[in-house]
Structures are given as C-alpha cells and as structure tokens.
Amino acid sequence: MSKNPIKHVVLFKFKEGTSESQVTEIIEGYKALPGKISVMKHFEWGKDISVENLNQGFTHCFITTFEDEAGRDAYIPHEAHQAYVKVLLPHLDKLLVLDFSPEVGQ
C-alpha cells in the first residue's frame, strides 16, 4: 500500500429534473464531510466553467486529498460518507471517480 498522498476526484452529472435547491443541498452535504471524516486532509470543489463543451454533462467536480491509500480506504466505508451517498445517488445520472497519486513534473 502506497504511503504517497492520494487525490480522490469525483464528477457529478445530475439527473434532469434535479432542482437547484437539491443540488445546493448535495453540495453542502459534501462540503460538510471533512468536518466529520478526519482522514480528508484537503477538500476543494467547483462547477464546470469550461468553454470547450467537453464535459459530457458532468457539472460538478470534488477533489479530496488523503495522506495515503489507508486514508482513502477508511473514507469510503465511513458512516458519514455512506449516509451522504444515500442522499446523493437518487439525483445522479452519472458518476465518475478517479483516484491517483500525484506526480509533479516540470
């Protein structure tokens, strides 16, 4: 198991008919997770603003940094994360998740 930092990237494409208030509730729920799950070392998110129109309907991106794979592995089954997933899933059309260990280049 790697001791390198892990970036956990999650992209959401919401179902048609999901209201702005529901999207706001979902985002607020995600933003609350770092206060409940100590292994979430850094968290950032944003809404797509690309002009290339290549997002395939994905509108929101969330990036969480974990110290290592063990942190990520503790996060996934964490009670607060699983409760959040139950709120999120009924509103998702598509979900994309990618985990990577960053390499810095010049």
Which residues are the active-site residues?
75, 78
The CB density around residue 11, as the number of other CB atoms within 10 Å, is 19
Residue 6 near residue 100 (C-beta atoms within 8 A)? yes
The CB density around residue 51, as the number of other CB atoms within 10 Å, is 5
20 token code pair: 């702005």
90 token code pair: 């009924």
